[in-house]
């Protein structure tokens, strides 16, 4: 079955978890000029039934086996919404079958798998995109517009606080606590919220090259971390990124030689979890305050951009290669905190983190003072 370039892309979605049904499916259904959701897959009967109800599909288009979905001949795009440790084989199979792919974040648990997925899409001549939807938050888009207009001059420092992240469990039909299993999640709160890593890089406007960090957990023998404090450096500027499960401070600020931009959320909370409060600019045009921006979870505009990118033959704003790079930057946080030294990017083949992700920390020389060692986070000692 062939498709004209101006026809909607036909989508098959794999994984009917919370994010798929609350975010991805509604986004596709709201963009009928760009997409038509034609099939879903999930091995759990209860979730598949919920997916059928949310999508309005016939039972014949709801598959218990993802291989059956990938084998269909009426798909242009496959959306992979499974936990990250399952992404690699699904994405590679989808690309090899000639489909474009959208993957939930993070792209994988190891850079080796992430870059294998990027390579598979490139070899097939298909587009691979990553769900870096915070790039499309209204206040983030506005901040990037102000930076691009030169309102504060070249960015020198960005500070992003996300220390009140809600620790929401996964869906009950799968494993509600899978985000606390480093084998499946690849890390803890920062891996779950690596949104803030790619936001920092977007504000800096240049690739992250060096990472230094402090990481801790609230209890000994915790399977993953609860709090991370990190400095991300580029060749010319730097960001401080603080992320944690809890009730800490939130908001972000970006400064340059000519001014600063500050974004706050209700009661000092965190974006995506608390309503937008205000954006204040002290810049070349004087002081300005913007209130009442509508909440935008970013999923719909990201998915819309992907369709436009495929039609135009350009890279999407959130590409698979970006996803692999941000995964490396996130893993470098754990390595820096564990060893007590600055970590350089990119990671290289053979590096324990590149090959094994967070499990590779066991092969590094741990700093005796690091909470990762003293509290035996990730099962380390």
The string of pLDDT tens digits covering residues 113-142 is: 999 999 999 999 999 999 999 999 999 999
Could you give the dihedral angle defined by the CA atoms of residues 11, 115, 175 and 223, in that order, rounded to the nearest 10 degrees?
-160
- pLDDT confidence of residue 237: 98
Residue 1 confidence class, pLDDT cut points 50, 70, 90: very low
Residue 176 has pLDDT above 90, yes or no: no
Give pLDDT tens digits for 185-232.
999 999 999 999 999 999 999 999 999 999 999 999 999 999 999 999
Instruction: Give the pLDDT of residue 4.
Output: 60
pLDDT band at 36 (very low <50, low <70, confident <90, very high): very high
Per-residue confidence (pLDDT) for residue 42, from 0 to 100: 98
Q: What is the pTM of this model?
A: 0.96
CA 130 to CA 108: how far, in whole Å?
Answer: 11
Taking residues 305-326, what's their average pLDDT? 98
- What are the tokens at 208? 């992250």
Task: Give all domains of the chain, ordered by start, each with its CATH number.
Answer: 9-133+300-316 (3.40.50.720), 135-298+327-379 (3.30.360.10)
Q: Given the DSSP bridges, would you call strands 343-344 and 210-216 parallel, antiparallel or unpaired?
A: antiparallel
Radius of gyration for the chain, computed over Cα atoms and rounded to the nearest angstrom: 21
Beta bridge partners of 315: none
Q: In the structure, what pLDDT confidence band is assigned to residue 168 with cuts at 50, 70 and 90?
A: confident
Instruction: Give CA separation, 216 vs 227, 231, 310, in Å.
Output: 5, 15, 41
Average pLDDT of the segment spanning 299-307 = 98
The per-residue pLDDT for 178 is 83
pLDDT of res. 67: 98
**What per-residue confidence (pLDDT) applies to 171?**
64
Residue 55 confidence (pLDDT)? 97
């Amino acid at each position: 079955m062939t498709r004209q370039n101006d026809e909607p892309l036909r989508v098959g979605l794999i994984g009917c978890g919370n994010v798929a049904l609350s975010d991805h499916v509604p986004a596709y259904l709201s963009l009928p000029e760009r997409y038509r959701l034609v099939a879903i897959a999930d091995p759990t009967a209860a979730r598949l039934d919920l997916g059928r109800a949310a999508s309005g599909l016939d039972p014949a288009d709801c598959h218990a086996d993802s291989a059956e979905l990938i084998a269909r001949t009426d798909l242009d795009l496959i959306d992979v919404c499974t936990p990250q440790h399952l992404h690699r084989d699904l994405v590679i199979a989808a690309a090899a079958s000639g489909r474009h792919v959208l993957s939930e974040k993070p792209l994988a648990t190891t850079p080796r798998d992430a870059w294998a997925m990027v390579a598979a899409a490139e070899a097939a001549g298909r587009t691979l995109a990553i769900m870096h939807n915070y790039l499309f938050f209204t206040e983030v888009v506005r901040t990037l517009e102000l930076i691009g207009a030169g309102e504060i001059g070249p960015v020198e420092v960005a500070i992003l606080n996300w220390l009140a992240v809600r620790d929401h469990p996964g869906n009950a039909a799968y494993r509600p606590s899978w985000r606390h299993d480093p084998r499946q999640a690849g890390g803890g709160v920062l891996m779950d919220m690596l949104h803030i890593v790619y936001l920092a890089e977007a504000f800096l406007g240049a690739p992250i090259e060096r990472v230094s960090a402090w990481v801790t957990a609230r209890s000994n023998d915790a399977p993953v971390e609860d709090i991370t404090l990190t400095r991300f450096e580029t060749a010319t500027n730097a960001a401080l990124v603080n992320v944690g499960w809890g009730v800490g401070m939130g908001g972000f600020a970006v400064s340059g030689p000519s001014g600063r931009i500050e974004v706050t959320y209700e009661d000092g909370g965190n974006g995506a979890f608390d309503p937008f409060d205000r954006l204040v600019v002290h810049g070349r045009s004087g002081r300005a305050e913007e209130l009442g921006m509508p909440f935008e979870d970013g999923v719909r505009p990201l998915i819309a951009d992907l369709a436009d990118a495929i039609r135009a033959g350009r890279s999407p704003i959130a590409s698979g290669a970006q996803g692999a790079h941000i995964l490396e930057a996130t893993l470098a946080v754990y390595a820096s905190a564990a060893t007590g030294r600055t970590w350089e990017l990119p990671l290289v083949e053979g590096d324990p983190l590149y090959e094994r992700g967070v499990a590779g920390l066991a092969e590094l020389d741990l700093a005796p003072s690091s909470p990762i060692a003293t509290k035996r986070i990730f099962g380390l000692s």
